[in-house]
Amino acid sequence: MSERLLDIKNLSVTFGGLNALSDLDFHVDKGEIVSVIGPNGAGKTTFFNMISGMVTPTSGDIIFRGESLLGLDPNQVTARGIARTFQNVRLFANMTILENVMVSQHCRTKQGIMGALFQTGGFKREEQEIREHGEKVLGFFGSRLVGYRLNQPASVLSYANRRRLEIARAMATKPEVILLDEPVAGMNPKESEELTGLIGKLRDEWGFTIVMIEHDMGVVRDVSDRVVVLDHGETIAQGSYDEVSSNPAVIEAYLGRPAEEAS
């Protein structure tokens, strides 16, 4: 039906004899929103780190648009069209909000030292373009990150806004796929509801494909086309939210705690 974008084949990694992830096998089609869930320590962030090139898998392969990502540096992965956010929000806290989204367009631009020194037409045009594109992605979150905020350092932002800026920074790299690592963690219900809507918009209006790690089952249910469940580095279930949530293995490993489910 649709184009296959990301293909994960038998991916495994061991850290000092410990299987952080073993034989992960799944794919992401263009325009999908896939959630990766699982209890803490299930290997979800390790999985993201492997896709984005920060951790080298022990075996297996990651195919993105028909090309293996193995052995690429993180920046090359990003240049090929996979951007990510971090679980523990890692902004460039002392750079301004605008600079944060400008600097992440680095791999889409090419002006070098000479352009900057002689202020060539190409340099000025490019600066203009990345500034406009930066403001555009910031505008995705309404008025929160624009206007007087543009030239304020990222460190003055509230927690929720930092999460938003991180998503904007990933968007600015002009990716195909965005990897969101717990995008609503630490947000209040109203904020996470709003962000859930925006994640849908990211796909519908901006055309991004999204892979998301999330603990908040409400968010997962609302936006995901498919859900992958990891536990102790193993894939224990894949499928739609309803399929997965009725899978006995998942219930045992993860959802089998009614008290937490109820919240």
Distance CA 263, CA 254 (A): 14
Distance CA 124, CA 128 (A): 6
Q: Quick one: which of 44, 133, 169, 226 contacts another protein (CB under 8 A)? A: 169
Is residue 121 exposed (0-12), middle (13-18) or buried (19+ Cβ within 10 Å)? exposed
- Residue 167 as a binder of another protein (CB under 8 A): the answer is no
Tokens of 173: 């790299």
Q: Which residues, 66 to 105, sit near another protein by CB under 8 A?
A: 70-75, 78-79, 83-84, 86, 88-90, 92-96, 99, 102-105
CB count in 10 Å sphere of residue 166 = 22
Q: Quick one: which of 68, 128, 188, 240 contacts another protein (CB under 8 A)? A: 188
- Residue 252 as a binder of another protein (CB under 8 A): the answer is no
Q: Quick one: which of 7, 176, 191, 225 contacts another protein (CB under 8 A)? A: 191
Shortest Å, Cβ 99 to another protein: 6
Q: Quick one: which of 39, 153, 200, 239 contacts another protein (CB under 8 A)? A: 153
CA 23 to chain CA centroid, nearest Å? 22
Between 151 and 246, whose beta carbon lies closer to another protein? 151
- Residue 197 as a binder of another protein (CB under 8 A): the answer is no
- Residue 10 as a binder of another protein (CB under 8 A): the answer is no
- Residue 135 as a binder of another protein (CB under 8 A): the answer is no
> Three-class SS of residue 172?
helix
Residues 6+ apart with CB under 8 A from 219: 183, 184, 192, 195, 196, 199
The residue length of the chain stands at 263
Q: Quick one: which of 11, 32, 35, 52 contacts another protein (CB under 8 A)? A: 52
Q: Quick one: which of 4, 106, 136, 215 contacts another protein (CB under 8 A)? A: 106
DSSP letter at 153 equals B
CB 84 within 8 A of CB 172: no
Shortest Å, Cβ 248 to another protein: 32
Site string for another protein, 24-43 (x = CB under 8 A): --------------------
Q: Which residues, 199 to 218, sit near another protein by CB under 8 A?
A: none
> Three-class SS of residue 47?
helix
